[in-house]
């Protein structure tokens, strides 16, 4: 080969190699794009929901708005003028939950006519101008009235003017969030646990039903030994510190939570049940592992509950997925709400950075964590008790699949799935529970499954 041709050949080979590398890099980039981010999110849920996905996606992208859940602890003389003004301004009673939970929703006309002098923001109260419960939102009223008018965010609540108790009259949240508390069915005299309680909307819904009839002498009780009493004022309890000392015995893949749960009929659990049965004092344990979120939870509870109700509330700062948590609370509760940490798909859609990082692998990771929490919840449940598992996730991997895995691997515990008693205008049935989706009713998403332990 002539010497003059060598450089040309080398240049040609180099260009070819660079072109091949570029094509390979471009192919890998396209593959990565398909496996992560918006395209992966859309492809995954299109496969799950099929023809329904475009309408569901459109509903998920609508601006947030909420119902106003009325605080039953507010004196009628203080709250009635506010409720009347809501109605006069065009607010609509949201009666899906009947007399159990009173709420109102706000059409655009109501917000435009609202007299904001009735409720002035307070620097002493937690901010609720963006009070999304777990990042949820909705775009229209889900009552069966045939209309599709947009419902805008309600005015931010503030303490009742002139009230001696200074309680805030209503809490803003997605109506679907109330479904978890309704399905729980907590009533006066029960020991109740909200395992992952912050930011506090579901805890309030539970308190509004379970603590509204609490008397002063009952409120002075300290029935649940583990956990911090209200008077701890933000400091870790002895139990909380004990949980966080080490995590060597947390649930691990080779030894999942629930492995050491006693079988049905074991003498030890029977003794616990007999020992605890006479006590009818109401206790609400609102657990939160995150210290900043726990502080927000404390602020919400103080803003809405009077002293007699607060005295029945305990707020441990503990990791509910740790084996020590399950051991400390074994067989203690008649009602448990596990509103499990999840992928929060509606929030992901509203956050470009989160959406860009989304991958289907996240769903399996979340499902594993949710399963560990569910196993611990089962250990803390008293015989005859009810456990509600809920998420704001869209994927069956975080919903029915978690419950199915629990029933398959922990069937010996005796828990069985029962249909949640939820308003049909809100929820639709799934294999093991029910789900509220915004394309159908404007609220959610929220998945709810109810597990019952025989007495």
pLDDT band at 50 (very low <50, low <70, confident <90, very high): very high
- Distance in angstroms (rounded) separating the CA atoms of residues 343 and 434: 18
Q: Are 60 and 38 in contact (CB under 8 A)?
A: no
pLDDT tens for each residue of 245-292: 333 333 333 344 334 433 333 333 444 444 444 446 899 999 999 999
- Distance in angstroms (rounded) separating the CA atoms of residues 360 and 45: 10
Q: Return the closest-CA partner of residue 244 out of 194, 198, 291.
A: 291
Residue 53: HSE in the Cβ half-sphere, 13 Å Cα cutoff? 13
Selected residue with higher pLDDT from 186 and 109: 186
Other Cβ atoms within 10 Å of 165 Cβ, number: 14
- Distance in angstroms (rounded) separating the CA atoms of residues 297 and 197: 7
Average pLDDT rounded to a whole number, residues 383-411: 96
Q: Residue 242: is its pLDDT beyond 50?
A: no
Q: What is the CA radius of gyration of the chain?
A: 25
- Distance in angstroms (rounded) separating the CA atoms of residues 334 and 340: 18
Q: Residue 142: is its pLDDT beyond 80?
A: no
Average pLDDT value for the chain: 75
pLDDT tens for each residue of 19-48: 454 444 444 444 444 578 999 999 999 999
Backbone angles phi, psi at 115, to 5 degrees: -90, 100
Q: Residue 130: is its pLDDT beyond 50?
A: no
Average pLDDT rounded to a whole number, residues 155-160: 68
Percent of residues, the chain, with pLDDT higher than 70: 65
Sign of torsion, CA 196 201 202 203? positive
The per-residue pLDDT for 155 is: 59
- Cis ω for the linkage preceding 445 (within 30 of 0): yes
The per-residue pLDDT for 146 is: 26
Average pLDDT rounded to a whole number, residues 5-9: 44
- Distance in angstroms (rounded) separating the CA atoms of residues 333 and 386: 9
End-to-end CA, the chain: 93
The structure's pTM equals: 0.75
Q: In CATH, which of 3.40.50.300, 3.10.20.740, 3.30.460.80, 3.40.50.150 is domain 176-452?
A: 3.40.50.150
Q: What is the 8-class DSSP label of residue 420?
A: -
- Distance in angstroms (rounded) separating the CA atoms of residues 56 and 46: 10
pLDDT band at 64 (very low <50, low <70, confident <90, very high): low
The per-residue pLDDT for 294 is: 97
């Amino acid at each position: 080969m002539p010497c003059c041709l060598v450089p040309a050949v080398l240049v040609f080979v180099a260009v070819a190699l660079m072109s091949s590398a570029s094509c390979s890099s471009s192919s890998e980039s396209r593959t990565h794009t398909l496996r992560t981010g918006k395209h992966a999110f859309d492809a995954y849920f299109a496969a799950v929901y099929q023809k329904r996905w475009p309408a569901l996606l459109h509903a998920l992208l609508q601006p947030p708005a909420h119902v106003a859940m009325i605080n039953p602890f507010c004196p009628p003389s203080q709250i009635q003028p506010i409720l009347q003004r809501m109605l006069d301004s065009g607010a609509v009673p949201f009666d899906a939950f009947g007399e159990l939970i009173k709420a109102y929703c706000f059409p655009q006309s109501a917000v435009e006519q609202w007299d904001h002098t009735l409720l002035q923001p307070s620097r002493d109260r937690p901010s609720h101008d963006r009070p999304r419960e777990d990042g949820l939102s909705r775009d229209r009223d889900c009552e069966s009235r045939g209309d599709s008018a947009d419902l805008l965010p309600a005015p931010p609540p503030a303490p009742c003017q002139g009230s001696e108790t200074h309680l805030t009259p209503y809490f803003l949240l997605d109506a679907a969030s109330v479904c978890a508390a309704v399905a729980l069915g907590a009533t006066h005299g029960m020991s109740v646990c909200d395992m992952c309680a912050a930011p506090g909307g579901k805890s309030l819904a539970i308190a509004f039903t379970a603590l509204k009839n609490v008397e002063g002498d009952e409120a002075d009780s300290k029935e649940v030994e583990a956990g911090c009493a209200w008077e701890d004022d933000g400091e870790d309890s002895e139990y909380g510190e004990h949980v966080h000392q080490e995590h060597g015995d947390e649930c691990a893949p080779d030894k999942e939570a629930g492995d050491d749960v006693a079988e049905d009929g074991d003498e030890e659990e029977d003794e616990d049940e007999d020992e605890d049965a006479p006590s009818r004092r109401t206790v609400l344990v609102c657990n939160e592992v995150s210290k900043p979120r726990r502080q927000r939870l404390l602020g919400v509870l103080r803003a809405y509950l009077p002293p007699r109700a607060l005295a029945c509330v305990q707020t441990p700062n503990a990791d509910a997925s740790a084996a020590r948590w399950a051991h400390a609370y074994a067989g203690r509760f008649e009602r448990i709400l596990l509103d499990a940490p999840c992928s929060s798909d509606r929030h992901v859609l509203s956050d470009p950075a989160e959406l860009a990082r989304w991958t289907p692998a996240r769903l399996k990771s979340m499902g594993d964590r949710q399963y560990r929490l569910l196993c611990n919840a089962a250990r803390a449940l008293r015989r005859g008790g009810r456990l509600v598992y809920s998420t704001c996730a869209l994927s069956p991997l975080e919903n029915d699949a978690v419950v199915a895995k629990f029933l398959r691997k922990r069937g010996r515990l005796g828990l069985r799935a029962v249909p949640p008693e939820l308003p049909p205008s809100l929820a639709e049935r799934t294999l093991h529970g029910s789900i509220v989706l915004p394309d159908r009713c404007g609220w959610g998403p929220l998945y709810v499954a109810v597990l019952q332990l025989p007495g």
